[in-house]
Amino acid sequence: MMFEHMNQVIKHSALRNNFRNTLMTAATRTSQKIAFDLFSKVHHDFNQPVIQVSLTEVCFPGSSPTVDFLISQGLVLLGASQSVEVRWLTKARIASSAFTPGDIVYASLISDGSKRYVALLMDLLAFNDKVFAQMVFIADAPKGNENPRAVTWAALKGASCAPLQQCTFAEVKNLSLTLLHPTARPDAPNDVHFVSW
């Protein structure tokens, strides 16, 4: 995670320079960023999500299908007469990347890093101090640089209409997410190719 953060810092520094001395500009800006991060103690809460809330509502059992599904999965403990404050998010920044509902990501559980999936982020929501990602797994994704097979534009469109029962909920602190950008190629118009950064 820290390597990816430093990679993003260096790329950011290299892209924003005067192009007279790219190496010197990137090195100077990187050292300034590291010094500022150490001064402001950013690294202490590096993996703590920073959220942007679009809507806050109080939900009771039976008032929201999503909350009822989370209760049935054991992710939210709520009695029959209790309520919970749900914050629906427009954006969550996790480490050095920001994610919004509708993004396509590589997702894997930190506890089981051997499995990786191409997933569609359906929604982001927060209960108390926990931030959850609602995802639909589209396909298994191999490790390395090769593109996942069997991902078509129809599969992406179908994932966006998936019912709640096909969704997977996971707390974002237990996830490793990489933002993907789908692209098309003339030689395979039905297949989706992904670019990540």
- What is the per-residue pLDDT for 148? 65
Q: What are phi and psi of 20, to 5 degrees?
A: -90, -40
- What is the per-residue pLDDT for 81? 76
Per-residue pLDDT of the chain (197 residues), as tens digits, is 566 667 777 777 777 766 677 777 777 877 877 777 777 765 556 556 677 787 888 888 888 888 888 888 888 777 777 888 888 888 888 766 788 898 898 888 877 767 888 899 999 988 877 888 999 998 887 666 566 667 888 888 888 888 888 888 888 888 888 888 888 888 888 888 877 65
- Show the tokens assigned to 102: 């509708």
Give residue limits of the domains in the chain: 2-44, 50-196
**Quick check: 70 and 132 in contact, CB under 8 A?**
yes
- What is the per-residue pLDDT for 120? 92
- What is the per-residue pLDDT for 131? 86
- What is the per-residue pLDDT for 155? 87
**Quick check: 103 and 82 in contact, CB under 8 A?**
no
pTM over 0.85: no
**Quick check: 30 and 17 in contact, CB under 8 A?**
no
